[in-house]
Structure 1
Amino acid sequence: MNSFRFKGLLAGFVLACAFGQGASAAEISGVKLDDSVKVGGKELKLNGFGMRQKFVAKVYVTSLYLPEKSTSLPDIMKMDGPRRVALVLMRDLTSDDFGDAFMNGLNKNLDNKEKARIVTQISKFGEMFALLQVLKKGDVLHLDWIPGVGTQCEFNGKKIGEVVPDIEFYNAILRIWMGEHPVDTHLKTALLSGK
């Protein structure tokens, strides 16, 4: 086989891998992200992704999937259709650490009146974190909004905890990463990049 033909075949193989079914749209720190996922029977597009870092330590990779791309959190919160926030752990965490970080994110982005309206849902989510006990590097958590169902969580592909029916609760979760006081401003920019 001559060199020119081999290079042509190799280029074709690379393109087939890049654009074939199940191809990853992006990769960050070895975590491959799909360019689309199905949630609630609908296809969602990768809106943005980034790394949550605390000082120099990598904590998790976060990605946001939406029915259509957007760079505006208010627009995202009004969207019809399902949505997904996916987290891939980059280090081991206890459920207490993860739960505390979740609560801190809510507290920074919600006023007392907003928290009072979803206090029952927050409590249910706290019970879910207690079920996890330890989160290991490589574990995957999906936080999905499914219209007509509610906020549903999956941990390594298995549904966990109770479904929370209120859209206000899911939008409060989004504000942890994309609200006025996000856990990481660089991560907020990455998730809302719409690229």
Structure 2
Amino acid sequence: MRAYIVAALLAAGSLGGATAWAQAVEVANVKYESALDLAGQKLVLNGAGVRYKFVVKVYAAGLYLTQKVGTTAEVLAAPGPKRIQIHMLRDIDGNELGKLFTKGMEANAPRDEFVKSINGVLKLSEVFASRKQLNSGDQFSVDYVPGLGSTLLVNGKPVMAEPIKEPEFFTALLRIWLGDKPADDNLKEALLGVKKERRR
């Protein structure tokens, strides 16, 4: 029955032209697919945008959830797996990036949440420090799966021996971009789907 519904939707899309959910989003020449599979579930692209430092493009970011939402509270409360995917648009020192992420988490997460995230923060910092530098074109993502934890992948490959089990870590991580003091206000709006990016 499910296969029939999917086939019917695809047929409808072919009759009416490309549907929005089937389109990829291109941001700063980085293409984010409209949907992907994680832990056996389909995730949809909630939004994507660019992190600027002054006028320099630092990285592109895309947020994937089981369904689209429009507020930070809804993102954090959304059930199921989640992914934040980052594509570097310039070279950056690994230590510097790790420190920026830690600073962003500490500035936005409630104190008790940040304390429970310390184990993950330290692991994340160690990974970036060990890489020395992330180059333009490199990409990394953090996948959160309920009951399993958060897994960091660099250029598509896992770089940790085991997931970060504390769920608070991923919540605190998302607050870097979606918190009250986000890394970039325009990027926050883009990840929440408030700002429309060019589709392809």
- TM-score bracket relative to the smaller structure: 0.7 to 0.9
- Match runs of 1:5-24 below 5 Å: none
Residue 107 (structure 2) pairs with residue 108 (structure 1)? yes
Q: Structure 2 CA distance, aligned partners of 1:100 and 1:166?
A: 20
Q: CA deviation at 1:124?
A: 1.7
* 5+ residue gaps, structure 1: 1-14
Normalising to structure 2: TM-score of the pair?
0.82
- List aligned pairs for 1:133-152, cutoff 5 A: 133-152=132-151
Letter of the structure 2 residue corresponding to residue 41 of structure 1: G
Distance 2:129 2:23 in 1: 32
Question: What is the CA–CA distance in structure 2 between the aligned matches of 1:114 and 1:188, rounded to whole Å?
Answer: 20
Distance change >3 Å, CA 24–CA 33, structure 1 → 2: farther
Question: Aligned runs of 1:42-61 on 2, under 5 Å?
Answer: 42-61=41-60
Quote the Cα distance in structure 1 between the aligned partners of 2:23 and 2:136. Answer: 20
Number of aligned residues: 178
The separation in 2 between residues aligned to 1:46 and 1:121, in whole angstroms, is: 25
**Identity across matched positions, percent:** 36
Q: How many angstroms does 1:75 deviate by? A: 1.7
Q: 1:168 is matched with which residue?
A: 168
Q: In structure 2, how many angstroms separate the alpha carbons of the residues matched to 1:187 and 1:109?
A: 15
1:113 Cα shift? 3.3
Does 2:67 correspond to 1:71?
A: no
Instruction: Supply the distance in 2 between the matched residues of 1:132 and 1:44 (Cα, whole angstroms).
Output: 29
Distance 2:101 2:32 in 1: 23
The Cα shift of 1:111 comes to: 4.1
For the aligned residue pairs, the C-alpha RMSD in angstroms reads 2.1
The alignment partner of 1:43 has SS state of: strand
Q: CA deviation at 1:122?
A: 1.5
**Contact map agreement 1:24 1:33 (CA 8 A) in 2:** no
Asked if the contact 2:114–2:169 (Cα under 8 Å) also holds between the matched residues in 1, the reply is no
Runs of 4+ aligned structure 1 residues displaced above 4 Å come to none
Letter in 2 for 1:193: G
Q: Give the number of the structure whose alpha-carbon radius of gyration is greater.
A: 1
Q: Which has the higher strand share?
A: 1
The answer as to whether partners of 1:47 and 1:63 remain within 8 angstroms in 2 is yes
The gaps in structure 2 that reach 5 residues or longer are 1-13
